Amino acid sequence: MENLTLTDAIQTAMEAELKAVEVYSEAAEKAAHTAAAKLFGQLADFEQHHADKLNELIESLQKKGKYLVYEGYARPIAAQSEIHVSGRAAEVLEAAKVSLMDILTMAQEIEKSASKKYEALAEQTSDKDGKAMFNLLAKEEQSHLKILTEVYWNLNDRGVWAWPAS
């Protein structure tokens, strides 16, 4: 990102957010379990919010030369209490586990990458509102990573769908 203009860097981040929306929306549609569909749907909504805010930021910087005050996403991801997977659902999960775990791993990488991009943008930005916005975006991506990691390990180790609130 060092050789990009600020607008180009934000545009790149927005494109990554839109790709995350696509990945999460597709995962929600294909999910064999309602808990997975719920989680991926909420993540898609969250990432769409990020993309929308980044678009607003680009417009504000181009038209007014000002950063936005970003207060975060008002609808955090709700916690999921344990849902034990048993019987036919366990068979379906076991058959799909590799691809589901691959999706969760890919989602974790998406969140790690986004967090690092926002941290880098915060470091490169001297404007206090811009720095605060990028730091909050990084923090939100880190909370998504925490949830996805928790889901991964709960499914892999315990065979349950569960995650903390964001």
pLDDT digits (tens, 9 = 90+) for 81-109: 666 555 555 555 555 554 778 888 999 99
Give the Cα separation of 73 and 61 in Å (integer). 21
Q: How open is the CA angle 9-47-129, to the nearest 5 degrees? A: 55
Q: In which domain, by residue range, is 43 found?
A: 6-163
Asked if the structure places residue 80 within a domain, the reply is: yes
Long-range contacts, stretch 28-34, CB < 8 angstroms, 24+ apart: 32/92, 32/93, 32/96, 32/100, 33/83, 33/85, 33/89, 33/92, 33/93, 33/161
In-domain check, residue 68: yes
Per the document, the length of the chain is 166
Quick check: is 1 in a domain? no
Q: How many structural domains does the chain have?
A: 1
C-alpha neighbours within 13 Å on the C-beta side of residue 129:
10
Whether 82 maps to a domain, the answer reads yes
- Evaluate whether residue 137 is within a structural domain: yes
pTM: 0.82
121 is a domain residue: yes
* Model pLDDT for residues 124-163, shown as the tens digit of each residue: 888 999 999 999 999 999 999 999 999 999 888 888 888 8
User: Is position 63 within any domain?
Assistant: yes
Task: State the CATH number of the domain containing residue 144.
Answer: 1.20.1260.10
